[in-house]
Amino acid sequence: MRKITIVCVGSLKEDFWKKAVLEYQKRLSKFCDLEICEIAEAKLSSSPNQKEIEQALENEAQKILEKTKGKKTFCFCIEGKPVSSQEFSKLLTENTNQGEICFVVGSSFGLFENLKSKFEKLSFGKITLPHQLFRVVLMEQIYRGFMIFSGSTYHK
Amino acid sequence: MRKITIVCVGSLKEDFWKKAVLEYQKRLSKFCDLEICEIAEAKLSSSPNQKEIEQALENEAQKILEKTKGKKTFCFCIEGKPVSSQEFSKLLTENTNQGEICFVVGSSFGLFENLKSKFEKLSFGKITLPHQLFRVVLMEQIYRGFMIFSGSTYHK
Protein backbone atom coordinates (compact mmCIF):
# COMPACT_ATOMS: atom_id res chain seq x y z
CA MET A 1 0.00 0.00 0.00
CA ARG A 2 1.20 3.52 -0.75
CA LYS A 3 2.84 5.14 2.26
CA ILE A 4 2.63 8.84 3.08
CA THR A 5 3.90 10.68 6.14
CA ILE A 6 2.83 14.21 7.00
CA VAL A 7 5.47 15.75 9.23
CA CYS A 8 4.00 18.82 10.91
CA VAL A 9 5.20 21.22 13.53
CA GLY A 10 2.69 21.89 16.29
CA SER A 11 -0.46 20.09 17.27
CA LEU A 12 -4.14 20.59 16.58
CA LYS A 13 -5.82 22.61 19.31
CA GLU A 14 -9.40 23.06 18.17
CA ASP A 15 -11.75 20.13 18.27
CA PHE A 16 -13.24 20.93 14.85
CA TRP A 17 -9.82 20.67 13.15
CA LYS A 18 -9.21 17.34 14.90
CA LYS A 19 -12.54 16.05 13.62
CA ALA A 20 -11.89 17.27 10.08
CA VAL A 21 -8.49 15.53 10.08
CA LEU A 22 -10.07 12.31 11.41
CA GLU A 23 -12.66 12.38 8.66
CA TYR A 24 -9.97 12.62 5.95
CA GLN A 25 -7.84 9.96 7.67
CA LYS A 26 -10.84 7.65 7.48
CA ARG A 27 -11.43 8.43 3.81
CA LEU A 28 -7.72 8.07 2.97
CA SER A 29 -7.39 4.65 4.61
CA LYS A 30 -8.76 3.19 1.34
CA PHE A 31 -5.87 4.60 -0.66
CA CYS A 32 -2.79 4.79 1.51
CA ASP A 33 -1.12 4.16 4.78
CA LEU A 34 -0.98 7.70 6.16
CA GLU A 35 1.03 8.63 9.21
CA ILE A 36 0.85 12.04 10.85
CA CYS A 37 4.02 12.82 12.70
CA GLU A 38 3.75 15.86 14.97
CA ILE A 39 6.89 17.67 16.06
CA ALA A 40 6.59 19.90 19.12
CA GLU A 41 6.72 23.60 18.30
CA ALA A 42 9.85 25.08 19.90
CA LYS A 43 8.97 27.27 22.89
CA LEU A 44 9.37 31.00 22.36
CA SER A 45 9.01 34.09 24.54
CA SER A 46 5.83 36.13 24.11
CA SER A 47 7.48 38.59 21.71
CA PRO A 48 10.43 36.70 20.24
CA ASN A 49 13.16 38.48 18.29
CA GLN A 50 14.43 37.26 14.92
CA LYS A 51 17.38 35.40 16.45
CA GLU A 52 15.12 33.50 18.84
CA ILE A 53 12.79 32.58 15.98
CA GLU A 54 15.70 31.38 13.81
CA GLN A 55 16.97 29.24 16.68
CA ALA A 56 13.53 27.70 17.16
CA LEU A 57 13.20 26.97 13.44
CA GLU A 58 16.68 25.39 13.41
CA ASN A 59 15.77 23.12 16.34
CA GLU A 60 12.56 22.09 14.61
CA ALA A 61 14.52 21.51 11.37
CA GLN A 62 16.77 18.92 13.04
CA LYS A 63 13.76 16.94 14.20
CA ILE A 64 12.13 17.21 10.77
CA LEU A 65 15.31 15.89 9.12
CA GLU A 66 15.27 12.81 11.36
CA LYS A 67 11.70 12.03 10.34
CA THR A 68 12.19 12.57 6.61
CA LYS A 69 15.54 10.77 6.28
CA GLY A 70 15.73 8.63 3.14
CA LYS A 71 12.25 9.57 1.95
CA LYS A 72 11.26 11.70 -1.02
CA THR A 73 10.14 14.88 0.73
CA PHE A 74 8.09 17.90 -0.28
CA CYS A 75 7.59 20.96 1.89
CA PHE A 76 5.01 23.70 1.63
CA CYS A 77 5.88 27.37 1.55
CA ILE A 78 4.49 30.43 -0.22
CA GLU A 79 7.53 30.64 -2.53
CA GLY A 80 7.13 26.99 -3.55
CA LYS A 81 6.04 25.80 -6.98
CA PRO A 82 2.30 26.54 -7.35
CA VAL A 83 0.39 23.34 -8.08
CA SER A 84 -3.18 22.70 -9.11
CA SER A 85 -5.14 19.76 -7.69
CA GLN A 86 -4.50 17.82 -10.92
CA GLU A 87 -0.76 18.49 -10.78
CA PHE A 88 -0.66 17.54 -7.11
CA SER A 89 -2.55 14.31 -7.90
CA LYS A 90 0.06 13.38 -10.50
CA LEU A 91 2.96 14.19 -8.18
CA LEU A 92 1.33 12.23 -5.35
CA THR A 93 0.48 9.10 -7.28
CA GLU A 94 3.72 8.97 -9.28
CA ASN A 95 5.93 9.42 -6.25
CA THR A 96 4.08 6.99 -3.99
CA ASN A 97 4.57 4.40 -6.73
CA GLN A 98 8.29 4.64 -6.14
CA GLY A 99 8.37 4.53 -2.34
CA GLU A 100 7.34 6.31 0.81
CA ILE A 101 6.93 10.07 0.58
CA CYS A 102 6.78 12.88 3.14
CA PHE A 103 5.03 16.22 3.21
CA VAL A 104 6.37 18.81 5.64
CA VAL A 105 4.17 21.55 7.10
CA GLY A 106 5.90 24.22 9.20
CA SER A 107 4.81 26.10 12.29
CA SER A 108 3.27 29.57 12.30
CA PHE A 109 6.81 30.92 11.82
CA GLY A 110 7.35 28.73 8.77
CA LEU A 111 10.39 26.53 8.15
CA PHE A 112 14.15 26.99 8.51
CA GLU A 113 15.62 28.33 5.23
CA ASN A 114 18.40 25.71 5.02
CA LEU A 115 15.86 22.95 5.52
CA LYS A 116 13.63 24.15 2.69
CA SER A 117 16.56 23.99 0.28
CA LYS A 118 16.83 20.21 0.89
CA PHE A 119 13.27 19.49 -0.23
CA GLU A 120 11.07 20.07 -3.25
CA LYS A 121 9.04 23.19 -2.43
CA LEU A 122 5.34 23.30 -3.25
CA SER A 123 2.65 25.95 -2.83
CA PHE A 124 -1.14 25.65 -2.84
CA GLY A 125 -1.49 29.43 -3.23
CA LYS A 126 -0.21 32.88 -2.24
CA ILE A 127 -2.27 33.06 0.94
CA THR A 128 -0.99 32.27 4.42
CA LEU A 129 -3.12 29.78 6.36
CA PRO A 130 -2.89 28.79 10.03
CA HIS A 131 -0.91 25.56 10.23
CA GLN A 132 -3.90 23.70 11.69
CA LEU A 133 -6.15 24.67 8.79
CA PHE A 134 -3.34 24.00 6.32
CA ARG A 135 -3.11 20.42 7.57
CA VAL A 136 -6.82 19.94 6.81
CA VAL A 137 -6.38 21.46 3.33
CA LEU A 138 -3.40 19.20 2.63
CA MET A 139 -5.33 16.09 3.67
CA GLU A 140 -8.24 17.11 1.49
CA GLN A 141 -5.86 17.59 -1.45
CA ILE A 142 -4.29 14.16 -0.87
CA TYR A 143 -7.78 12.66 -0.82
CA ARG A 144 -8.74 14.66 -3.93
CA GLY A 145 -5.50 13.56 -5.56
CA PHE A 146 -6.44 9.90 -5.17
CA MET A 147 -10.01 10.59 -6.28
CA ILE A 148 -8.71 12.30 -9.46
CA PHE A 149 -6.37 9.36 -10.07
CA SER A 150 -9.22 6.86 -9.64
CA GLY A 151 -11.43 8.81 -12.07
CA SER A 152 -14.08 9.61 -9.45
CA THR A 153 -16.60 12.43 -9.92
CA TYR A 154 -15.53 13.90 -6.54
CA HIS A 155 -13.31 16.26 -8.51
CA LYS A 156 -15.37 18.08 -11.14
CA MET B 1 -19.50 49.05 11.25
CA ARG B 2 -18.08 47.45 8.11
CA LYS B 3 -20.61 45.20 6.38
CA ILE B 4 -19.70 42.00 4.53
CA THR B 5 -21.98 39.42 3.00
CA ILE B 6 -20.79 35.98 1.93
CA VAL B 7 -23.17 34.62 -0.66
CA CYS B 8 -22.62 30.88 -0.98
CA VAL B 9 -24.29 28.12 -2.87
CA GLY B 10 -25.06 25.05 -0.79
CA SER B 11 -25.07 24.52 2.93
CA LEU B 12 -22.60 23.10 5.43
CA LYS B 13 -23.18 19.42 6.05
CA GLU B 14 -20.42 18.36 8.41
CA ASP B 15 -20.56 19.45 12.01
CA PHE B 16 -16.83 20.30 12.11
CA TRP B 17 -17.18 22.82 9.26
CA LYS B 18 -20.17 24.41 11.03
CA LYS B 19 -18.11 24.77 14.20
CA ALA B 20 -15.13 26.23 12.35
CA VAL B 21 -17.40 28.80 10.68
CA LEU B 22 -19.00 29.68 14.04
CA GLU B 23 -15.56 30.23 15.56
CA TYR B 24 -14.58 32.69 12.83
CA GLN B 25 -17.99 34.40 12.99
CA LYS B 26 -17.36 34.99 16.68
CA ARG B 27 -13.86 36.35 16.05
CA LEU B 28 -15.07 38.54 13.17
CA SER B 29 -17.86 40.14 15.20
CA LYS B 30 -15.21 42.57 16.56
CA PHE B 31 -14.42 43.86 13.08
CA CYS B 32 -17.49 43.65 10.90
CA ASP B 33 -21.13 42.86 10.56
CA LEU B 34 -20.89 39.59 8.61
CA GLU B 35 -23.87 37.95 7.02
CA ILE B 36 -23.76 34.50 5.46
CA CYS B 37 -26.41 34.10 2.83
CA GLU B 38 -26.87 30.51 1.66
CA ILE B 39 -28.49 29.83 -1.68
CA ALA B 40 -29.89 26.35 -2.22
CA GLU B 41 -27.86 24.25 -4.63
CA ALA B 42 -30.02 23.48 -7.70
CA LYS B 43 -31.09 19.83 -7.74
CA LEU B 44 -29.40 17.64 -10.35
CA SER B 45 -29.74 14.05 -11.48
CA SER B 46 -27.09 11.60 -10.24
CA SER B 47 -25.00 11.91 -13.42
CA PRO B 48 -25.99 15.27 -14.89
CA ASN B 49 -25.03 16.22 -18.45
CA GLN B 50 -23.43 19.56 -19.33
CA LYS B 51 -26.75 21.16 -20.31
CA GLU B 52 -28.33 20.22 -16.99
CA ILE B 53 -25.34 21.63 -15.10
CA GLU B 54 -25.45 24.89 -17.10
CA GLN B 55 -29.16 25.23 -16.33
CA ALA B 56 -28.54 24.69 -12.62
CA LEU B 57 -25.72 27.25 -12.59
CA GLU B 58 -27.94 29.75 -14.42
CA ASN B 59 -30.72 29.30 -11.86
CA GLU B 60 -28.27 29.79 -9.01
CA ALA B 61 -26.84 32.84 -10.80
CA GLN B 62 -30.23 34.58 -10.77
CA LYS B 63 -30.52 34.14 -7.02
CA ILE B 64 -26.93 35.30 -6.50
CA LEU B 65 -27.62 38.45 -8.54
CA GLU B 66 -30.60 39.31 -6.32
CA LYS B 67 -28.43 39.06 -3.20
CA THR B 68 -25.50 41.06 -4.57
CA LYS B 69 -27.51 43.86 -6.24
CA GLY B 70 -25.96 47.29 -5.68
CA LYS B 71 -23.02 45.91 -3.70
CA LYS B 72 -19.37 45.76 -4.68
CA THR B 73 -18.97 42.04 -5.35
CA PHE B 74 -16.02 39.68 -5.67
CA CYS B 75 -16.30 36.05 -6.68
CA PHE B 76 -13.82 33.25 -6.28
CA CYS B 77 -12.71 31.03 -9.13
CA ILE B 78 -9.46 29.36 -10.15
CA GLU B 79 -8.96 31.73 -13.09
CA GLY B 80 -9.42 34.78 -10.80
CA LYS B 81 -6.65 37.18 -9.86
CA PRO B 82 -4.31 35.42 -7.41
CA VAL B 83 -4.10 37.36 -4.13
CA SER B 84 -1.85 37.02 -1.11
CA SER B 85 -3.23 37.50 2.40
CA GLN B 86 -1.74 41.02 2.46
CA GLU B 87 -3.33 41.93 -0.88
CA PHE B 88 -6.66 40.50 0.26
CA SER B 89 -6.43 42.51 3.49
CA LYS B 90 -5.95 45.73 1.50
CA LEU B 91 -8.83 44.93 -0.84
CA LEU B 92 -11.07 44.02 2.09
CA THR B 93 -10.38 47.04 4.26
CA GLU B 94 -10.37 49.58 1.42
CA ASN B 95 -13.62 48.35 -0.07
CA THR B 96 -15.50 48.03 3.23
CA ASN B 97 -14.59 51.68 3.87
CA GLN B 98 -16.69 52.59 0.89
CA GLY B 99 -19.79 50.49 1.58
CA GLU B 100 -21.09 46.99 1.90
CA ILE B 101 -19.24 44.28 -0.01
CA CYS B 102 -20.09 40.74 -1.09
CA PHE B 103 -18.03 37.63 -1.65
CA VAL B 104 -19.56 34.91 -3.80
CA VAL B 105 -18.61 31.24 -3.39
CA GLY B 106 -20.04 28.82 -5.95
CA SER B 107 -21.22 25.24 -5.64
CA SER B 108 -19.14 22.17 -6.46
CA PHE B 109 -19.89 22.88 -10.14
CA GLY B 110 -18.60 26.43 -9.82
CA LEU B 111 -20.40 29.55 -11.03
CA PHE B 112 -22.25 30.48 -14.23
CA GLU B 113 -19.81 32.02 -16.75
CA ASN B 114 -21.97 35.11 -17.45
CA LEU B 115 -22.27 35.77 -13.74
CA LYS B 116 -18.52 35.71 -13.18
CA SER B 117 -18.03 38.38 -15.83
CA LYS B 118 -20.12 40.81 -13.74
CA PHE B 119 -17.85 40.57 -10.69
CA GLU B 120 -14.22 41.05 -9.83
CA LYS B 121 -12.68 37.57 -9.91
CA LEU B 122 -10.25 36.50 -7.19
CA SER B 123 -8.29 33.32 -6.52
CA PHE B 124 -6.61 32.05 -3.36
CA GLY B 125 -4.68 29.45 -5.36
CA LYS B 126 -4.71 26.94 -8.21
CA ILE B 127 -6.18 24.13 -6.12
CA THR B 128 -9.85 23.17 -6.05
CA LEU B 129 -11.36 22.95 -2.58
CA PRO B 130 -14.77 21.60 -1.51
CA HIS B 131 -17.11 24.57 -1.16
CA GLN B 132 -17.61 23.85 2.55
CA LEU B 133 -13.88 23.99 3.25
CA PHE B 134 -13.50 27.00 0.97
CA ARG B 135 -16.02 28.89 3.12
CA VAL B 136 -13.85 28.23 6.19
CA VAL B 137 -10.70 29.35 4.34
CA LEU B 138 -12.45 32.55 3.18
CA MET B 139 -13.59 33.38 6.72
CA GLU B 140 -10.09 32.80 8.03
CA GLN B 141 -8.69 35.10 5.34
CA ILE B 142 -11.22 37.82 6.20
CA TYR B 143 -10.21 37.49 9.86
CA ARG B 144 -6.52 37.49 8.89
CA GLY B 145 -7.19 40.52 6.69
CA PHE B 146 -8.49 42.52 9.64
CA MET B 147 -5.66 41.27 11.86
CA ILE B 148 -3.08 42.41 9.28
CA PHE B 149 -4.87 45.79 9.04
CA SER B 150 -4.83 46.19 12.82
CA GLY B 151 -1.10 45.35 13.00
CA SER B 152 -1.63 42.21 15.08
CA THR B 153 1.01 39.49 15.36
CA TYR B 154 -1.59 36.92 14.25
CA HIS B 155 -0.13 37.26 10.76
CA LYS B 156 3.63 36.68 10.84
ipTM, 2 dp: 0.95
Q: What order do you get walking across the sheet with B72-82 strand by strand?
A: B32-39, B2-9, B101-105, B72-82, B120-123
Domain boundaries, chain B: 2-150
Torsion angles phi and psi, residue A2, rounded to 5: -60, 145
The residue count for chain A: 156
B82 pLDDT above the threshold of 90: yes
| Chain B CB contacts of A15 below 8 Å | 16, 19
List pLDDT tens digits, range B89-129.
Answer: 999 999 998 899 999 999 989 999 999 999 999 999 999 99
**Is A9 in CB contact (< 8 Å) with chain B?**
no
pLDDT digits (tens, 9 = 90+) for A64-117: 999 999 999 999 999 999 999 999 999 999 999 889 999 999 998 999 999 999
Per-residue pLDDT of A125-148, as tens digits, reads: 999 999 999 999 999 999 999 999
Percent of chain B having pLDDT more than 90?
A: 89
Hey, are the CB atoms on A127 and B16 less than 8 Å from each other?
no
How confident is the model over A5-52, as pLDDT tens digits?
A: 999 999 999 999 999 999 999 999 999 999 999 999 988 888 899 999
Per-residue pLDDT band for A56 (boundaries 50, 70, 90) equals very high
Q: Which pLDDT value is given to residue A69?
A: 96
pLDDT category, A155, cuts 50, 70, 90? confident
Put simply, whether B130 touches A (Cβ < 8 Å) is yes
Question: What's the pLDDT at B46?
Answer: 86
Provide, rounded to the nearest whole percent, the portion of chain B with pLDDT above 70: 100
| pLDDT bucket at B145, cuts 50 / 70 / 90 | very high
Q: Are B106 and B9 in contact (CB under 8 A)?
A: yes
Contact A125/B20, CB-based, under 8 Å?
A: no
Cβ–Cβ under 8 Å, residues B3 and B32? yes
Average pLDDT score over residue span B32-51:
93
Q: How far apart are CA A23 and CA B8, in angstroms?
A: 23
User: Which residue out of B76, B127, B143 would a mutagenesis test of the A interface target, given it has the greatest number of A Cβ atoms within 10 Å?
Assistant: B127
Give the distance from CA B82 to its chain's centroid. 15
Tell me which residue in A84, A127, A141 faces B88 most closely, judged by beta carbons: A127
Q: What is the mean pLDDT of chain B?
A: 95
The class of domain A2-150 in CATH terms is alpha beta
pLDDT for A37? 97
Look at residue A2 and tell me whether its pLDDT is greater than 90.
yes
Torsions phi, psi for B4 (to 5 deg): -130, 135
CB A63 within 8 A of CB A32: no
pLDDT of residue A65: 97
8 Å CB contact of A123 and B124: no
